[in-house]
Structure formats: structure tokens, C-alpha cells
Amino acid sequence: MWTHHLSDDLGVHESPVSEERATEKEKAMTTDDQDPATDLIRQLLDHFGHDTTREGLVRTPERVATFYREFITNRHLCPVTTFDAEGMDEMVVLRSVPFYSLCEHHMLPFFGTTSVGYVPAERIVGLSKVPRLVQHFSRNLQNQERLTNQIADCLVETLKPKGVGVILHARHLCMEMRGVAIAGAVTTTSALRGVFLDDPRCRREFLDFDGKNGD
């Protein structure tokens, strides 16, 4: 896998590797080569004609592997702390929560902001846990529609609230950097549950809160 070298195909002429650069690569390889992900990324760069022994690229496979390990490794969701609502039954909304994810089709970033709201029944959630939920589900190979629903469904399952609303606004680099190459387009998705879906006044209040994202 990734063993074909493209230097001839691309018209790239390889120059002899100096002893200093070779030594630098050997130092990196003493720790990196134990990691299959690092080695595969190095092979990928080699495949596309890059000299992975030059100073700027020697540590790149390790860095990319570390990023993927942190960002797309499947992890179990940590327990979400909840509290007695103590009769609280008004809407709770967090808006402008940032998120970053990777498109599962091209592994390019999509990113933006999230509005998350719910109407409590018997339990409320610690406010810091909502951004953590957003981060948990966004740190994976995703599509925006699934991500929106996962956040909403997790809150429904955890809190059993009267309703939940989630809205994501995102820019997709898979659309901006390639394909139609339209820069700045924003995609909006929503997931409404319970009273957010059934009660027009509740839905309008939530949408009004979300509309303040640009304020």
C-alpha cells in the first residue's frame, strides 16, 4: 500500500540525501516507526513525490498521526453530569458554541457554530457539558446532518426533557477548496425534538435566540 513513488511520473528529480538529513530522519524514525499510522503517512507523502527527509517534513508524519489520533479516534462518551431542575421549566439556550469536524467524504474540515437549547422536565445539565457534547460528536469523520442529530438525541436520552433544539451553521472546506470552489457559503442544519417541534411559539423563541448568533 502506498509503495509507488511518483518522482519520475511528476518529473521530479531526486537529489542525494546528505548525511546530516539522513541522520535527522533516523532520529525521528527511532520513535516514529513504532507507530503504523506515522509510517503510513510517511509512505503517503513519499507516494506523492515529497522528500520526507528534508527538514520541513521530517516530523510531519508524526504530527499528522498525532492529529488524527486526537481528532478521529472513536471514544466512548464520558458520563454527563445532570442536576435536579428544581421546578425550572423555561428554555435554556447556549449559542455560538464553536465546533470543528472532518468531512467523511474528503477528510477536509468543516466548522462553525452551534446553538443548543432545551426545556427541562426534571433534570438540567451542567452548562460546560453542552460544549463538551458538541466537541465529542464533532471530533470524528462526520457529516453535518448526522452531527446535528447526534447532539440532539444525546440530550434527549440524557435529560428526558420537554424538548430539544440544535442548529448548526458551518462552512465546508470540501466545497470551498475543491469541486465548485465556492468560498464563504454557510450550510445550516437543525434537529428539533418535543416542544421545539410541536409548539410554534417555542420553536420561534429558539430560532430567535439562534438568530442572535451574529450579534
Burial grade of 207 (CB within 10 A; 0-12, 13-18, 19 or more): middle
Least confident of 3-12, 92-101, 146-155: 3-12
Q: Are 117 and 164 in contact (CB under 8 A)?
A: yes
* Dist CA 109 CA 128 (whole Å): 24
| All three cell numbers of 205 | 423563541
Q: Is the pLDDT of residue 12 over 80?
A: no
Among 53, 72, 91, where does a domain finish?
72
**Coil, helix or strand at residue 212:** helix
Are residue 117 and residue 33 in the same domain, yes or no? no
pTM: 0.81
For 32, the domain range is 19-72
Residue 2 banded pLDDT, cuts 50, 70, 90: very low
pLDDT digits (tens, 9 = 90+) for 74-88: 889 988 889 999 999
Domain CATH for 121:
3.30.1130.10
Are residue 32 and residue 61 in the same domain, yes or no? yes
**Does the residue 2 lie in any domain?**
no
* Dist CA 15 CA 22 (whole Å): 13
**Does the residue 12 lie in any domain?**
no
**Does the residue 1 lie in any domain?**
no
* Dist CA 96 CA 38 (whole Å): 35
Cα 202–chain centre separation:
29
DSSP class of residue 15? P
**Does the residue 208 lie in any domain?**
yes
Are residue 109 and residue 155 in the same domain, yes or no? yes
| All three cell numbers of 63 | 504530527
Cβ atoms within 10 Å of 205's Cβ, excluding its own: 18
**Coil, helix or strand at residue 42:** helix
Are residue 90 and residue 67 in the same domain, yes or no? no
E strands along the chain, which residues? 82-84, 92-103, 109-119, 123-125, 141-142, 163-172, 187-194
Residue 212 banded pLDDT, cuts 50, 70, 90: confident
